[in-house]
Amino acid sequence: MPRGSKHVNFIQNYIDGKFVAGQRDFADVNPANGSVIAQVSEADQDLVDRAVQSARKSLSGEWGHTSVRERAAALRKVADAIESRFDCFVAAEVADTGKPISLASRLDVPRAAANFRAFADLISAAGIESFQTETADGKSALNYAIRKPLGVVGIITPWNLPLLLLTWKVAPALACGNAVVVKPSEETPASATLLAEVMQTVGISDGVYNVVHGFGPASAGEFLTQHPDVNAVTFTGESQTGATIMKTVAPSVKPVSFELGGKNAGIVFADCEFDDAIAGIADAVFLNTGQVCLCAERVYVERGVFDRFVSALKRKAENLRVGSPLEPSTEMGPLISKQHREKVISYYSLAREEGANVVAGGGIPEFGNALDNGFYVQPTIYTGLAESARCVKEEIFGPVCHVTPFDTEEEAVHMANDTKYGLAASIWTSNLKRGHRVAQQMNAGITWVNCWFLRDLRTPFGGMGLSGIGREGGMHSLNFYSELNNICIRL
């Protein structure tokens, strides 16, 4: 498609308050039908450098002198402006990801506005650490730590919850007075660019929020992480990409915050509220076509209710309304891309080779219309695999789980923790003591009891092992996006 075609949009980079085109374009594809919805301008090394320099310049300009109160007010204006363009953001997110319009309307776009409001509140209320220190001579000293911006923060995000995950980092970074250069996923460039329009409209100073488009290696992602004037990198995506970025930033010792992959467990005890557990686990397996880092791909069910549980989850999978994302009643859309579908389908084949019993799905649905050009897969449930099977060990990132029976609490805890990842877990029981006891044994950054993906933005969020480095959320975000300068005064 030529640039400026009447049939597709042209998505540009946003640098120093202006929309800027690079030398090369790439296609933005709608996963629901394979059509090209936009051409995207790729940022080369020179454009990434311009974005970083414009961010740096903004720190010594008006933005660098804003008070906390002014920054909090600016963040609230951004939240209001996202809401006033709600339908536009929903449409962009649905077209780029293929997620159901109902999901983008209840999760992604409201959370983007909530992210800005939450960090406006947090920075307004944040105190500073202080200690009065007794000295050997019987006198004392006063210590207090002030918070300063890191400087220019590079933000790299994935395609599964593009606006939610981007704003989860942009909001605290700006609250702390930084300037940012964001690199959204090449699969989902639209909402970060719409956010640039919002920043422009509400009068955020030029250079404070920049967007560069492109890929990872030898493209905008790598150019940004290796840039010597980027002071910190915050990244959400695959564990392997995190490892690569770590190598790239090592020579300049940049602080990193990594929210990476998972192979999360759900543990269902026989004493659970059965219908709640089924609804919760079905959400945890199939929400966003299973493309949420927190999704449960391993479900452990106490033997006494195993057969009943598997039958009920099968009914849920088979009754899910899979279809056009634009249809309000649709519950599940396609996967993000042809390439990702190939990966998920290769795991569906592998599960059979490894000896799985296919309880539901396992293939590609047929619609008999344009959706057959989309990247759909069936919601899928397996049983019967050994815990060592690759399908039980590796992150698939699709609408799929393996269900394993257990006999004792210890066995369930052992199997749930037998993973190199450590992001999230959910436990389903009506025994309060057991809920606490098992939750406290989970090797995970986030454990839910009788719920899943219930968020309070003040709480620590992140993973252990291959699932990440550090925590964001609440004060943890304020601490990551700030440098602390401890001042010690002899009294």
Write out the residues near ligand NAD by the rule CB under 6 A.
156-160, 165, 183, 185-186, 215-217, 221-222, 225, 236-238, 241, 244-245, 259-262, 293, 395, 397, 423, 463, 467-468
* Contacted by 185, from ligand 6OH, ligand NAD, none: CB < 5 to 8 Å by type: ligand NAD
Helix residue ranges, H only, 407-468:
409-417, 432-441
Decide whether 234 or 404 has the Cβ nearer to ligand NAD.
Answer: 234
Decide whether 256 or 359 has the Cβ nearer to ligand 6OH.
Answer: 256
* Contacted by 375, from ligand 6OH, ligand NAD, none: CB < 5 to 8 Å by type: none
Active site residue 293: yes
Residue type, 281: I
Decide whether 122 or 292 has the Cβ nearer to ligand NAD.
Answer: 292
Distance of CA 225 to the CA centre of its chain: 18
Q: Which of 42, 259, 302, 354 is catalytic?
A: 259
CB of 247 to ligand 6OH, least distance (A): 24
When CB distances to ligand 6OH are compared, the closest residue is 293
CB of 215 to ligand NAD, least distance (A): 5
In 3D space, the residue among 237, 280, 303 whose CA is nearest the CA of residue 401 turns out to be: 280
Where do contacts with ligand 6OH occur on this chain (CB under 6 A)?
Answer: 160-161, 165, 168, 292-294, 455, 461
What is the token pair recorded at 242?
Answer: 């995190």
* Contacted by 216, from ligand NAD, ligand 6OH, none: CB < 5 to 8 Å by type: ligand NAD
DSSP helix/strand/coil, 447: strand
CB of 220 to ligand 6OH, least distance (A): 21
Decide whether 15 or 287 has the Cβ nearer to ligand 6OH.
Answer: 287
* Contacted by 397, from ligand 6OH, ligand NAD, none: CB < 5 to 8 Å by type: ligand NAD
Decide whether 100 or 162 has the Cβ nearer to ligand NAD.
Answer: 162
* Contacted by 159, from ligand NAD, ligand 6OH, none: CB < 5 to 8 Å by type: ligand NAD
Decide whether 167 or 441 has the Cβ nearer to ligand 6OH.
Answer: 167
The DSSP code sequence of 331-388 is -B---S-HHHHHHHHHHHHHHHHTT-EEEE--S----SSGGGGS-----EEEE---TT
For residue 199, the surrounding DSSP H or E stretch is: helix 190-202
In 3D space, the residue among 488, 470, 486 whose CA is nearest the CA of residue 242 turns out to be: 470
If you ran DSSP here, which 8-state letter would residue 176 be given? T
* Contacted by 168, from ligand NAD, ligand 6OH, none: CB < 5 to 8 Å by type: ligand 6OH
Please say whether the beta carbons of 225 and 152 come within 8 A.
no
Distance of CA 169 to the CA centre of its chain: 10
Active site residue 411: no
The rounded distance, in Å, linking the Cα atoms of 459 and 308 is 35
Q: Which of 272, 293, 295, 401 is catalytic?
A: 293
Cα separations in angstroms, 286 against 276, 319, 439, 461, 479: 15, 12, 23, 21, 34
Cross-strand bridge partners of residue 472: 461
**Active-site amino acid positions:** 259, 293
